[in-house]
Amino acid sequence: MCVNLSELKLGDQAVITKILDPIMSLKLMEMGCLPGEPVKIQRFAPFGGPVAIEILGYVLSLRLDEASVIVVEPICFN
């Protein structure tokens, strides 16, 4: 079952399967968001602001609409 990264809840863990937007994928992949990498939702900024995710052992923040181009396979729901 695949969902967008932006649909996950706090504490959820997932594995990236693909990135939909090719231009955005260049930026995201350089930051380590590659297919096959596990991610964990660490924190949401208030009022629908960015989301902070754990990837490659560091914390990356991105907007929800950027997170929505990342398709993930959830492995652990909080």
Partner 1 sequence: MKVALVGNPNSGKTSLFNALTGLNQKVGNFPGVTVEKKIGKIIVDNHPIELIDLPGTYSLYPKSYDEEITFQVLCDPNSSDRPDAIIVVADATNLKRNLLFITQIIDLGLPVILALNMIDLVAKQRIEIDIETLSSLLGIVVCPTNARNKGGLGELEKQLLKIKPSKNPAFYLPVGLPLATLSLFDNQNTISEYQKYVLILNYEKLENISLKTEIKESLADTDLVKIQGIETVNRFQKIAGIMRKCFKKEHNQNTNSTTKAIDAILTHSFWGYLIFLGIMFLVFQSIFSWATFPMEMIEMIFNETGKIVASVLPKGMFADLLVNGILAGLGGVIVFLPQILLLTGFISLLEETGYMSRVSFLTDKLMRKIGLNGKSIVPLLSGYACAVPAILSARTIGSWKERIITILITPLMSCSARLPVYTLLIALFIKDDKVIGIFSLQGLILMAFYLLGFVMAIMMAFIVKPFIKEQSKSYFILEMPIYRAPRWKNIFITLIEKGKNFVFETGKIIIAISIILWFLSSYGPSDNFAKIDKKYTSKEYVLMPEKDKANNIAKEKLEKSYAGILGKTIEPAIRPLGFDWKIGISLITSFAAREVFVGTMATIYSLGPDDFDLTKLKEKMSTDINPATGRLVFTTATALSLMVFYAFAMQCMSTLAVTRRETGNWKWPFIQFSYMTILAYLGSLATYQILNAI
Residues making contact with partner 1 (CB under 8 A): 22-32, 34-35, 42-43, 45-50, 52, 56-63, 66
The H or E element spanning position 76 is strand 70-76
Q: Which is nearer to partner 1, 3 or 61 (CB)?
A: 61
Pairing mode of beta strands 38-44, 13-19: antiparallel
Q: Which of 71, 69, 64, 29 is nearest to 50 (CA)?
A: 64
Residue 59 C-beta: closest distance to partner 1, Å: 4
Comparison of 9 and 43: residue with beta carbon closer to partner 1: 43
